[in-house]
Amino acid sequence: MAGQGWRMLVECLSVGRGITLPSNSTGGVKSVALATGAYAHIRRQFKISIGKMEGIEEPLARIAGNAYVMDAAASLITYGIMLGEKPAVLSAIVKYHCTHRGQQSIIDAMDITGGKGIMLGESNFLARAYQGAPIAITVEGANILTRSMMIFGQGAIRCHPYVLEEMAAAQNNDVNAFDKLLFKHIGHVGSNTVRSFWLGLTRGLTSHTPTGDATKRYYQHLNRLSANLALLSDVSMAVLGGSLKRRERISARLGDVLSQLYLASAVLKRYDDEGRHEADLPLVHWGVQDALYRAEQAMDDLLQNFPNRVVAGLLTAMIFRLAVIIWRRLISWITPLRRSCRCQTPHVHVLGAVSI
């Protein structure tokens, strides 16, 4: 391999990026969570432990939640690498989000510890981690570049069932293969359109889930948002074409949706692999709900700023507003019935559970 150093570096990049920085950031946040939680329990102000103050509880919860999410994401990609995979897109996702969440967690810890985190000395357990956080953000693909160009820029091609093969067929002038792939692609878009609309209309309630416990709705929301992302990706590529890579804010927001779906999936997998312990549910709820919120927010931001306003309006109605309007109409019909029936028959009890 003499003279092939660059090739060797590129081939190993996805593997190294998926292990080193995510595991380093995850380990750092886990130690910060342990130390900061203990400090908040011991440190007293106004005759109470500061960990019992609501203002401190919020950043403490973020630190604990981020530690759980990061550990789940880093463990999942490490398992994939151990199976022999070279997950270029997932390594970019995990590198970005683990280092970013790690930095935010250290900032939260510095806010909690106050002066003790600022004054350097042998007993300061935060300052050096705070100083080193920008290094992880910068190396092996700066986070700004990773988010705006690499995650969806690579994912749109590598993760799509037909685009990469269509590009290869076009490059090889294989008209027959390209035509077959094109018609499959059109059918795929049509299927995603119907699925996205139906899952949005039903709020994902009709989709299959592997479990019926407290995490069931999370799987259904992931199914719904995955269908939405597939539709948004195909429409964005069709409308914007080759300029999509240069539209960095659009690419970044699509990448944000993909990333949050991965993080939520990693949390659910960790919870399942570890035996579904009820004690872990608060962390699972925080991690998945945070990811689902961020994914929907990224979709909304994308549609609010999509360059083709007609297409944006149609997609917004299909993914968000039409489903909400129909659900509100249904509830407006059901609510008077619930108020007037006085529980005369056993089946009326189910009406009390209807909500949007």
pLDDT tens figures, 194-226: 888 888 888 888 888 998 889 999 999 999 999
> Which residue ranges form the domains of the chain, and what is each CATH number?
5-141 (1.20.140.10), 163-353 (no CATH)
Highest mean pLDDT range out of 4-13, 158-167, 225-234?
Answer: 225-234
Point out the least confidently predicted range of 35-49, 104-118, 150-164, 185-199. Answer: 150-164
pLDDT of residue 116: 84
Q: For 322-339, what is the mean pLDDT?
A: 52
Q: For 63-89, what is the mean pLDDT?
A: 90
pLDDT of residue 266: 97
Question: CA-to-CA distance for 156 and 234, rounded, in angstroms?
Answer: 9
Catalytic site positions: 140
Query: Over 50: is that where the pLDDT of 120 sits?
Result: yes
Q: For 236-263, what is the mean pLDDT?
A: 89
**Sequence-ordered list of residues with C-beta below 8 angstroms from that of 32, at least 6 positions apart, any chain:** 63, 67, 105, 106, 109, 125, 126, 129
- Using one digit for the tens of pLDDT, what is the confidence trace for 29-55? 999 999 999 999 999 888 899 888 988
Question: CA-to-CA distance for 82 and 78, rounded, in angstroms?
Answer: 6
pLDDT of residue 310: 92
With CA atoms as reference, report the closest residue to 231 among 255, 182, 195, 265. Answer: 195
pLDDT of residue 256: 95
Task: Supply the Cα-derived Rg of the chain in whole angstroms.
Answer: 24
Query: Over 60: is that where the pLDDT of 187 sits?
Result: yes
With CA atoms as reference, report the closest residue to 19 among 67, 69, 90. Answer: 90
Among residues of the chain, what percentage have pLDDT more than 70? Answer: 88
Q: For 89-116, what is the mean pLDDT?
A: 92
pTM as predicted? 0.84
Query: Over 60: is that where the pLDDT of 328 sits?
Result: no
Phi then psi dihedrals of residue 45, to 5 deg: -150, 140
Residue labelled with tokens 């019926």: 212
Split at pLDDT 50, 70, 90, the class of 350 is: very low
Question: CA-to-CA distance for 30 and 308, rounded, in angstroms?
Answer: 44
